């Protein structure tokens, strides 16, 4: 039985992860730490956990094997380092930190402690996306020359994010940026996994609609490779979902179009230019949800899902930081080779 604690509850994604965590018979959800008393009261009521005002008190009061970290991006990375140094395995929510320095510190702490570090991406548990990645890597669409992902909604507050989540999402310091960091991160990690590390980034980040925000409400990043490109789009102002959360992988012999969540995978070729639906195989048990995958990684020692591997996520963080710099400069930023 793996004893698990939670550090931070202000990231709303935790409430999507908790049912699978608590429902896993090989995991014991022991305790939670948060500075927000109403959130502690909620998790205690819903899951019966012991609660603490901070991680230090939780560490003194409980024997844990692993923790999930769901606070703001900056504090979360700092707590992740401390957790690894305490000897706990760590699952942290995407992108993993507010900046590259925070990501590097997490990788260093994981290496030095010999404890597992996993980064959770909600899209990692979409079977059709995983199958598309596998098809692309197997050469089913030839040489991949572009990866594109658009993450867009009307804004955190408008989409029903909690006051605790919005409090730091709109804060460029605690979040690490605005829409660019929050939503271009998906295109960054997908491009990193499918195309590798880019050699240059061009980006635009603006307040196009919500001009009173301290952070950008829209952003686009172009990741440049010798023979390919990646495009990451982000919006906190889009009305409707017509173009949201779709992944497109373009190859020299075909195109893969991935609909979000429970959607379809379509494969277009010269013979079928309109695309044919691909039958997606059932996922392996360890790829059903983040809790199951985290436990599997701890017990097996196997590599995590490519989207969740800390080295790939560190590179995605580097891409995001270069994107923010490129947008501020109005010029391309080259990554160190």
The domains of the chain are located at: 2-121, 124-288+315-334
Task: Give, in order, the Cα–Cα distances in Å from 231 to each of 78, 117, 175, 255.
Answer: 30, 27, 22, 15
Please state which CATH class domain 124-288+315-334 belongs to: alpha beta
Asked whether the beta carbons of 106 and 80 are under 8 A apart, the reply is yes
Give me the sheet containing 200-206, strands edge to edge: 276-277, 265-268, 254-258, 247-251, 144-152, 229-235, 218-224, 200-206, 333-334
Distance between CA atoms of residues 144 and 192, nearest Å: 12
Question: What does residue 74 show for φ and ψ, rounded to 5 degrees?
Answer: -75, -55
Can you name the residues that pair with 231 across neighbouring β-strands?
148, 222
**Helix, strand, coil fractions of the chain, as percent rounded to 5:** 40, 25, 35
pTM value > 0.95: yes
Task: Give, in order, the Cα–Cα distances in Å from 154 to each of 86, 186, 239.
Answer: 40, 17, 6
2-121: CATH homologous superfamily?
NAD(P)-binding Rossmann-like Domain (3.40.50.720)
Distance between CA atoms of residues 245 and 153, nearest Å: 9
What pLDDT shows up at residue 138?
99
What pLDDT shows up at residue 29?
98
Q: What DSSP state is assigned to residue 66? A: E
Question: pLDDT in tens for each of the 337 residues of the chain?
Answer: 999 999 999 999 999 999 999 999 999 999 999 999 999 999 999 999 999 999 999 999 999 999 999 999 999 999 999 999 999 999 999 999 999 999 999 999 999 999 999 999 999 999 999 999 999 999 999 999 999 999 999 999 999 999 999 999 999 999 999 999 999 999 999 999 999 999 999 999 999 999 999 999 999 999 999 999 999 999 999 999 999 999 999 999 999 999 999 999 999 999 999 999 999 999 999 999 999 999 999 999 999 999 999 999 999 999 999 999 999 999 999 999 8
Which are the contacts of 282, defined by CB distance < 8 A and separation ≥ 6?
Answer: 127
What pLDDT shows up at residue 337?
85
Place of tokens 């939503």: 183
Task: Give, in order, the Cα–Cα distances in Å from 290 to each of 29, 94, 140.
Answer: 14, 12, 28
Distance between CA atoms of residues 62 and 258, nearest Å: 43
Burial 76-103, CB ≥16 within 10 A → b, else e:
bbbbbbbbbeeebbbbbbbbbbbbbebb
């Amino acid at each position: 039985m793996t004893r698990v604690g939670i550090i931070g509850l202000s990231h709303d994604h935790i409430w999507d992860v908790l049912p699978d965590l608590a429902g896993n018979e090989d995991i014991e959800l022991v305790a939670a730490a948060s500075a927000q008393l109403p959130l502690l009261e909620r998790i205690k009521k819903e899951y019966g956990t012991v609660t603490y005002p901070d991680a230090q008190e939780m560490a003194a009061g409980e024997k844990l094997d692993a923790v999930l970290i769901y606070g703001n991006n900056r504090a979360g990375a700092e707590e992740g380092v401390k957790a690894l140094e305490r000897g706990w395995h760590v699952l942290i929510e995407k992108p993993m930190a507010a900046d590259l320095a925070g990501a590097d510190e997490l990788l260093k702490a994981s290496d030095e402690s010999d404890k597992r570090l996993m980064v959770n991406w909600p899209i990692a548990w979409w079977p059709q996306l995983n199958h598309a990645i596998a098809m692309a890597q197997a050469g089913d669409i030839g040489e991949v020359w572009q990866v594109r992902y658009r993450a867009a909604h009307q804004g955190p507050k408008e989409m029903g994010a909690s006051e605790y989540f919005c409090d730091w999402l709109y804060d460029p310091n605690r979040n690490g940026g605005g829409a660019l960091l929050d939503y271009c991160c998906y295109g960054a990690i997908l491009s990193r996994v499918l195309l590798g590390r880019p050699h240059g980034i061009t980006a635009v980040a603006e307040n196009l609609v919500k001009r009173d925000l301290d952070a950008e409400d829209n952003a686009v990043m172009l990741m440049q490779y010798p023979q390919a490109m990646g495009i990451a789009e982000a919006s906190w102002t889009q009305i409707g979902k017509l173009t949201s959360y779709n992944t497109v992988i373009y190859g020299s012999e075909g195109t893969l179009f991935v609909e979000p969540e429970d959607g379809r995978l379509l494969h277009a070729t010269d013979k079928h230019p309109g695309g044919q639906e691909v039958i997606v195989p059932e996922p392996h048990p360890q790829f059903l949800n983040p809790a199951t995958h985290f436990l599997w990684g701890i017990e097996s020692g196997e590599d995590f899902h490519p989207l969740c591997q800390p080295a790939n996520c560190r590179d995605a963080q580097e891409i995001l930081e270069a994107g923010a710099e490129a947008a501020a400069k109005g010029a391309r930023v080259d990554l160190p080779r």
